[in-house]
Structure 1
């Protein structure tokens, strides 16, 4: 029988709650489920919340009785916050988080590069927000627990998976023993050491880099801003790199590379941790500053992905699907995008609104995103931790030249995580006007937010299905377009129309945004009425037109929802 620990995890700043296990004896016989999600990390819970938003129930299995130990992911991007806004937790994230937009690189005691992430008045969220993962998971769990379509089962460990004809038979272990559970779809969100991936003997493709990094969270009072700090080739750790981030509740993360040959066990010895953290504090001018350890861990940099995320009735997401370097804040932020994509694709298949080919599209898009991240993340990793003599010579040349030569300093840029653009998605309309636009989000891009008022933005009004942004000053959506909309709605497709630019009500529109100053039109590259954008349920653009008619709208919807 599975016996998860009931002792609260230790932490200086976070109080862990131990939850009661879900026990089979307290519930009726288990019916066959539509979706079971194995794993309650960021990918698993966002998948559950997004499925629920599309009206699909799920069971979430987690082997533990409490949230994950340690801060883990701490930096969340603007796009992640926009996704978390959709599932209702962005407000709690911003209340306790630390926003920032600058990153600094130091060499030989000098700042040689300062990164500034773009931010303007049309952005509701800052480029980056620092919050410890325990808080983010708490907010997601509270949202899951409050939703009637999510059955969250603490202390339930997935033991085995047997795929049948069109479904999967699971064996789940609990403190009372095992029980069988059938599901049409199993979402493998069980992390980087995915037991499901191992049991299915699935191999990842890519690279693993030599060397280890220590993450140490310390409680200390440092008079430094909330900005990324990177130190290259310091005297106390020659040839290696140190990163520092401020976290909420008086915590600082110190992230440093180990010398070659040092084992993780040696690195985590208290005397080793103390010596290195003291050396780092001394280097930045705070020698002797008292501090206390909260949590520490060791990781290695890997750039790996499964070549396909769909295997029969098992769908992989998050770290179970890929292992990405944390440089550029790619871990949890990529998982949110994975989960958002998987949930709408899967929901439309479960509800019979599209065929299983839609899941193949999800896999193709997210594998493509992972490979793009692997390409960019690999560049950052090779700069932070050169894997060969040649790469080290190149990196050291950049370091040396950066003291006097401006032109090499941008090579320090850490290639921050950004949302993938599905430029070549099979769901993009081949017959629209994408190539004729001179501005605005193109095929596959996420939407651009627009400030509409003091605390009102365009993305506050979007989400939940397909969105047609129709730019018009008329008092009605053209009748032929309304007929196509009615036709697709009759099939059960969630499809909402937002009229942008009209001063009064617009017949056939679900909502109207006045856009009196033309800000929305400019952000979307629109100059005349009749232009339109079609956004998928994950808000990425799948079609845009300078002029839209019924035939083109119908064709775009048929492309976006293959049967």
Structure 2
């Protein structure tokens, strides 16, 4: 059921490629115009790589679907030029509360410190995010979106891929050096290659509903175990823009998915939870979920991202956030390879890094699901004992798992140069850099991540020695002023400290007093060169 009309619809347009006597060839074709495909295409286009984006539909806006976007995802969206409209419309939050029946077990704060441009989370209906991304894509001359272009055939070659595409005016072929498969959980491209997931399928069913109402609930994440309005199950409440509230209700593995979506079943459940009838039902669905992934994300010149590569439970907001981080990891590497600035094997590190991230997310997601919906008497006894102890003991509160919320991955891969000195602070090797408020030489405020942008960068704290070499060097105290000391604290900086940052803003290497050759070797290493050691 979906009472909301389609918000955004796009018309099919004939492409010049359809009139060519032989297939046109493109550097990169992205399949799927969801958040992951759009982010990948925008990132590539911003890096000067021409990209064609294909989608078999002609619209967005069918149900809220994903709604929770984490701080790191917002930082990525900011770099892509779409964070501002999302922040303006989205509901900002950082507090969560966990209840058992009517009793609050504990509360948490996801971003207790200041000095960050982006909030811990925003809630925003997915169609608003997609619309912002589509508008940004339309502004980029190197990005061609083709709606109602459905991929129906795929042939791989050593030097690329040939796609057969169905349109309202007939089929045509395209050739690509690289194809990014971001076509979702039911990926057609995954099926064309005969690939399957490995992992676990969960049988428990959950009702997901968006209701429009004026509510007194604060903009927080509220989760209930065994609530009085939904006895023996769990429930979740989130606020969205437009006076819309997201409600998740656990139904159990034997629930009839079709029957549970009827107004006769949905409305009484919602009235019992909310305690009134002053609401309208915007969207409803019943879902089960999987915690599974492809064994490999890279198959020759076809690379899988987002739900096409891995799937997790919705607990913890790990789906879209993880998929957008896939896009960020892939885009800079693919851009370097397409431009001939890095070897093709650099793409293998996408598989290494994002497979590890998928395993991390699947592990968190599986543990959350086992706690929320225990499948055995032993799991239920553990859950119930933990909840009972959590009322009185801090250690048990930390064991309560209502969905460990999305955090960015730290990459421990050959692209990073291991630390040889001891460092404190919140900056971690392999992780995205913590943001910090800075000032430019002229006194203008700027955030550290804004200054970094999308380029490989050396950050240096001067000590009187010659400035380190690099294509792009930012000097603290000259290019960027750390007036409030956030950078010094978060990066444990001392005179001479030097940091090499990847194009995706992850920390690749750091030294107290590096030699020029160390920086050069680390730079080659992060670009996928073999045999370099710092």
Residue 284 of structure 1 aligns with which residue? Answer: none
Residue 10 of structure 2 aligns with which residue? Answer: 19
- Report the RMSD for the aligned CA atoms in angstroms: 1.9
Residue 100 of structure 2 aligns with which residue? Answer: 107
Residue 487 of structure 2 aligns with which residue? Answer: 520
Residue 227 of structure 2 aligns with which residue? Answer: 234
Q: How many correspondences in the alignment?
A: 522
Contact kept in structure 2, 1:439 and 1:525, CA below 8 Å: yes
2:47 counterpart of 1:57: no
Superposed displacement of residue 32, structure 1: 0.3
Question: Within 5 A, what are the aligned runs for 1:291-302?
Answer: 291-302=279-290
Which of 116, 130, 147 is equivalent to 2:109? 116
Question: Within 5 A, what are the aligned runs for 1:293-312?
Answer: 293-312=281-300
2:458 counterpart of 1:464: no
Question: Within 5 A, what are the aligned runs for 1:67-106?
Answer: 67-106=60-99
Residue 509 of structure 1 aligns with which residue? Answer: none
Residue 362 of structure 2 aligns with which residue? Answer: 374
2:308 counterpart of 1:320: yes
Contact kept in structure 1, 2:293 and 2:311, CA below 8 Å: yes
Q: Partners in 1 of 2:413 and 2:145 — Cα distance?
A: 33
Residue 477 of structure 2 aligns with which residue? Answer: 501
Question: Within 5 A, what are the aligned runs for 1:136-147?
Answer: 136-147=129-140
Contact kept in structure 1, 2:149 and 2:167, CA below 8 Å: yes
Q: Secondary structure at the match of 1:361?
A: helix
Superposed displacement of residue 26, structure 1: 8.5
Question: Within 5 A, what are the aligned runs for 1:404-483?
Answer: 404-413=392-401, 414-422=403-411, 424-430=412-418, 433=420, 435-452=421-438, 456-472=446-462, 474=464, 477-478=466-467, 481-482=468-469
Residue 532 of structure 2 aligns with which residue? Answer: none
Q: Partners in 1 of 2:472 and 2:201 — Cα distance?
A: 45
Q: Secondary structure at the match of 1:197?
A: helix
Q: Partners in 1 of 2:521 and 2:278 — Cα distance?
A: 65
Which of 239, 258, 261 is equivalent to 2:254? 261
Question: Within 5 A, what are the aligned runs for 1:356-375?
Answer: 356-375=344-363
CA shift digits 1:336-362 (9 cap, x unpaired):
100000111111111111111101111
Q: Partners in 1 of 2:408 and 2:391 — Cα distance?
A: 33
Q: Secondary structure at the match of 1:123?
A: coil
Q: Partners in 1 of 2:476 and 2:394 — Cα distance?
A: 45
Residues 458 and 25 (structure 1 numbering): CA distance in 2 closer, same or farther, change over 3 Å?
closer
Q: Partners in 2 of 1:226 and 1:517 — Cα distance?
A: 30
Residues 16 and 534 (structure 1 numbering): CA distance in 2 closer, same or farther, change over 3 Å?
same
Bigger CA drift: 332-341 or 229-238?
229-238
Q: Partners in 1 of 2:97 and 2:484 — Cα distance?
A: 37
CA shift digits 1:52-81 (9 cap, x unpaired):
121111100011111141111111111011
Q: Partners in 1 of 2:174 and 2:515 — Cα distance?
A: 48
Residue 540 of structure 1 aligns with which residue? Answer: 506
Q: Partners in 1 of 2:466 and 2:150 — Cα distance?
A: 52
Q: Partners in 1 of 2:229 and 2:490 — Cα distance?
A: 49
Q: Partners in 2 of 1:451 and 1:254 — Cα distance?
A: 36
CA shift digits 1:65-101 (9 cap, x unpaired):
1114111111111101100001000111111111111
Q: Secondary structure at the match of 1:211?
A: strand
Contact kept in structure 2, 1:501 and 1:518, CA below 8 Å: no
Residue 506 of structure 1 aligns with which residue? Answer: none
Superposed displacement of residue 11, structure 1: 5.2
Contact kept in structure 2, 1:428 and 1:443, CA below 8 Å: yes
Contact kept in structure 2, 1:18 and 1:66, CA below 8 Å: yes
Superposed displacement of residue 560, structure 1: 1.3
Normalised by the size of structure 2, how large is the TM-score? Answer: 0.94
Contact kept in structure 2, 1:121 and 1:451, CA below 8 Å: no
Q: Partners in 1 of 2:307 and 2:253 — Cα distance?
A: 26
Normalised by the size of structure 1, how large is the TM-score? Answer: 0.89
Q: Partners in 2 of 1:177 and 1:237 — Cα distance?
A: 51
Bigger CA drift: 156-165 or 180-189?
156-165
Bigger CA drift: 63-72 or 128-137?
63-72
Bigger CA drift: 298-307 or 453-462?
453-462
Contact kept in structure 2, 1:47 and 1:343, CA below 8 Å: yes
Contact kept in structure 1, 2:390 and 2:400, CA below 8 Å: no
Q: Partners in 2 of 1:400 and 1:415 — Cα distance?
A: 20
Contact kept in structure 2, 1:123 and 1:449, CA below 8 Å: yes
